[in-house]
Amino acid sequence: MRKYDYTGKVVYMGIDVHKKTYACVSICEGEIVKKDTMQADPASLISYIKNQFAGANVET
C-alpha cells in the first residue's frame, strides 16, 4: 500500500469521541482519505495524526 504525501496540505479531521473509542474521518482536498477507529487515548490520537499525516496542517 502506497503512503500518500500530505506535506503542505490541509487535512480536516472530524473526531467522534466516546468513552472507549475515537472514530476519526479525515478529508484532504475535498475527498475522504481515511476512516479509522481507535482506543480513546489522547496520546494515541496524537501519535496517529503525526504518523499518518506527517507534514500536513491538521484542522479539527
Kindly report, residue by residue over 5-38, the tens digit of the pLDDT.
999 999 999 999 999 999 999 999 999 999 999 9
Q: How many CA atoms lie within 13 A of 52 on its CB side?
A: 19
pLDDT of 2 reads: 67
How would residue 3 be classed by pLDDT, with cut points 50, 70 and 90?
confident
Task: Tell me the longest C-alpha to C-alpha distance in the chain.
Answer: 33
Domain boundaries of the chain, sorted by first residue: 10-59
- Cα separation of 4 and 52, whole Å? 9
- Cα separation of 44 and 29, whole Å? 25
**Grid cell for residue 30:** 475535498
Closest CA to 53 of 31, 30, 27, 15: 27
> Could you tell me the pTM of the whole model?
0.88
